[in-house]
Amino acid sequence: MRLRRTWGLAVVAALSGALLLPACNRRKAVEINPIAPSVKVNRTKAPLGSALEVTYTWTLAANARKLDKDYRALVHFLDNHDVMLFEDDHDPVPPSSTWEPGKTYSYTRTRFVPVYPYVGDVEVRMGLYPHPGRGERPALKGEDKGFREYKVATLELLPQTENIFPVYKEGWHNPETQPENPSIERFWTKKEALMSFKNPNFGRDQKTDVIVYLQADTCVKCFPQTPELTVTVGNNVGLRFPIESPEVFLKKIHVKAADLGAEEWVDVRLSMNQSFVPKNLNPPLNNDDRELGLLVYHLYVTDAASAGTPEGVTEAVALGPAEPAKARAAGGKPAKPAVAPAKQTRP
């Protein structure tokens, strides 16, 4: 009796599967839009904390369909266990709704590798997703790793010690984290701050240039006048420029080997023409009584050969003495200071 019941259940299961099979066959296949994402990096082996120059490319086949909205670019960097280490999600340039079939769109972004307790292989995946609001990710052309994320490249993360070694000296406050992203650290400087790095040419016959990356911003409204920053490297070369916007800026300064000098260490000095104390502003910004100048996100030095040919590089120039600040505002009236004189720094 038990055997007959078992056989009966098997027949029912088989019939059920047969009935369900046509429904499965009727499932609509995913329609791929032949848009192929790809990526190229300036280095396939990148130390932790280093700068990556990432070129993104979107290639549309002649039969590609125009996208009906602007999508965000999805860019994920995953370790060898498929755990995301960091991302570079962004708005494509130009916006995806303007892309035309048969055309290719490329642009380059600078991305700093976070300092994680991981070294080894990294897989780069790209895709598109709607933003803002909800909706489906479009199916693209490529190796889908799931959730319409497409494998586009691999690279290797190396230990941070593979970078040119920096030493942060005077003029730096303790690191702070961003409330929206605790993994990102930033440093306020005082009016002046000094960092030194190991000269890559020290004791070597073959000389190499370097590129100094500086990503920073400041509280522009906290100064009585437009603040000015001087970046001095080695033998008194570098850049001097006004900071007219509170937005984060990125400077890439190319310094020739001859301007690094012959010593073992090379100095990089960040000099603001003014500083401010948040507590002493009128009205006070907050209760912070520190002397502040520049908020630094990244100060990174690499040999020029490793950097490749990054976009937006400025040649370091010989720096003369800074021009004195204007003593009077427009109209001949004395400029009213926004802050009280900065306190003396603690020893």
Q: Has residue 228 got a pLDDT over 80? A: yes
- 331 Cβ partners below 8 Å, 6+ apart? none
pLDDT tens sequence across 23-81: 444 445 678 999 999 999 999 999 999 999 999 999 999 999 999 899 999 999 999 99
Between residues 14 and 188, the one the model is more confident about: 188
Over residues 141-148, mean pLDDT: 96
Specify which residues 250 forms β-bridges with.
215
Q: Has residue 100 got a pLDDT over 80? A: yes
Least confident range from 254-263, 307-316, 322-331: namely 322-331
- Write down the pLDDT at residue 330: 39
- CATH number for 35-160 (one of 3.30.1240.10, 3.40.50.10800, 2.60.40.1930, 3.90.1150.10): it is 2.60.40.1930
CA 206/CA 317 separation, integer angstroms: 23
Residue 343 binned pLDDT confidence (cut-offs 50, 70, 90): very low
Side chain identity at residue 92, one-letter code: P
- Could you give the dihedral angle defined by the CA atoms of residues 61, 66, 67 and 70, in that order, rounded to the nearest 10 degrees? 100
pLDDT tens sequence across 166-211: 999 999 999 998 777 777 789 999 999 999 999 999 999 999 999 9
CA 227/CA 189 separation, integer angstroms: 14
- Write down the pLDDT at residue 333: 39
| Annotated domain spans of the chain | 35-160, 164-318
- Write down the pLDDT at residue 28: 57
CATH second-level architecture of 164-318?
A: Sandwich (2.60)
- 127 Cβ partners below 8 Å, 6+ apart? 37, 73, 74, 137, 140, 147, 148, 149, 150
C-alpha pair distances (Å), 29 with each of 24, 34, 37: 11, 15, 21
Burial grade of 170 (CB within 10 A; 0-12, 13-18, 19 or more): exposed
Q: Has residue 15 got a pLDDT over 50? A: no
CA 327/CA 324 separation, integer angstroms: 8
Closest CA to 271 of 185, 329, 195: 195
16 membership: H or E segment, kind and range:
helix 2-25
